[in-house]
Amino acid sequence: MKSSVEPLKARRIYLLLRDRIVAGDLPPGGRLPGEPALAAEHAVSRVTVRRALDLLEKEGLVQRKPGSGTFVHDTRSVRPIVADLSNVLSHLIDMGRSTDVKLLSFGYVAPPEAIAESLGLKPGERVQRSVRVRLIDGEPFSYLTTHVPEWLGLTYSEAELAARPLLELIERSGVKTERATQAINATLAGPEPAAALDLEIGSPLLTLTRVVHDPSGRGVEHLHALYRPDRYSFHMDLVRIGDDGERRWSPALGRPRASDTTKTDKNKAGEKPTRGSRAIKQRS
């Protein structure tokens, strides 16, 4: 019984310390209390505390220095990617050129019924299915599973998909992407996504499902994306609209964000934006 309880206690301490680090209560470079102090504070053994610190170290949130203690790692230079929800399709290709991708699988299969329906496929029509992991600064942040109608998938090769953004390949074929629908939720990491994203099985993930359509309403891409919440977040600018008594929040479409304006000004000056100052848009 004790052997099953201890890992749960270790994870609880890990989550408590992680929340304090993310919230800034434990500043970068700050020293965590020693193992004996943490064990006494949480009424657990030092072995349990050590397990919790192992989880924090694996996530890159702390650095353990033998003989000195455990210190909060300065993660300020590794800012999470920010995706603009108010502008789904613009800048997708730009993001593809700012990050790296690892293609895990590529093939032609019969799609699940739900995906076939969302793409408007005919009975028996196959899809090109791929699984990719996207990285920034060498660290994985998204696990992408895409389904594209076979007639469209045949316009690009496996090597091209491993090197170029999917949306760019779709539009290269002459297909015009006009609109998309998407839903955002939360889930837990299964074995394959967990391994690809360097996480433990059962870790929390953000999930996004998007279907992209051409002007005729035909579905040209189904994307199911899983994101590490510590390396990816969603953003939307809002404005108040409507008459008095009926005012409501609405997406601020077409309004540049401060970080985007800064990026544009730097580009005009011939400078490249730094990793910490740019806001990278979502892509597929």
pLDDT in tens, 220-255: 999 999 999 888 877 778 888 888 778 888 877 654
Instruction: Provide the strand spans (E) within 21-152.
Output: 62-65, 69-72, 81-84, 100-109, 127-136, 139-149
> What is the C-alpha to C-alpha distance for residues 81 and 141, in angstroms, rounded to an integer?
9
- At residue 158, the pLDDT reads 96
pTM of the model: 0.67
Residue 107: the pLDDT is 97
CATH architecture under which domain 81-235 falls: 3-Layer(aba) Sandwich (3.40)
* DSSP assignment string, 222-276: EEEEEE-TTTEEEE--EEEESSTTS-EEEE-TTPPPHHHHHHHHHHHTTPPPPTT
Residue 153 and residue 127 in contact, taking contact as beta carbons nearer than 8 Å: yes
Residue 244: predicted pLDDT: 77
Q: How far is CA 220 from the centre of its chain?
A: 22
Domains of the chain, residue spans: 4-72, 81-235
Closest CA to 284 of 147, 109, 140: 147
C-beta separation of 11 from 18 below 8 A = no
In angstroms, rounded to a whole number, what is the distance separating the alpha carbons of residues 117 and 122?
A: 9
CATH number of 4-72: 1.10.10.10
- Distance (Å, rounded) from C-alpha 19 to C-alpha 10? 14
Element (H, E) at 12: helix 2-23
Please identify every stretch of the chain with a pLDDT value under 50, giving residue numbers as ranges: 1-2, 88-93, 97, 255-283
Q: Give the Cα separation of 34 and 46 in Å (integer).
A: 10
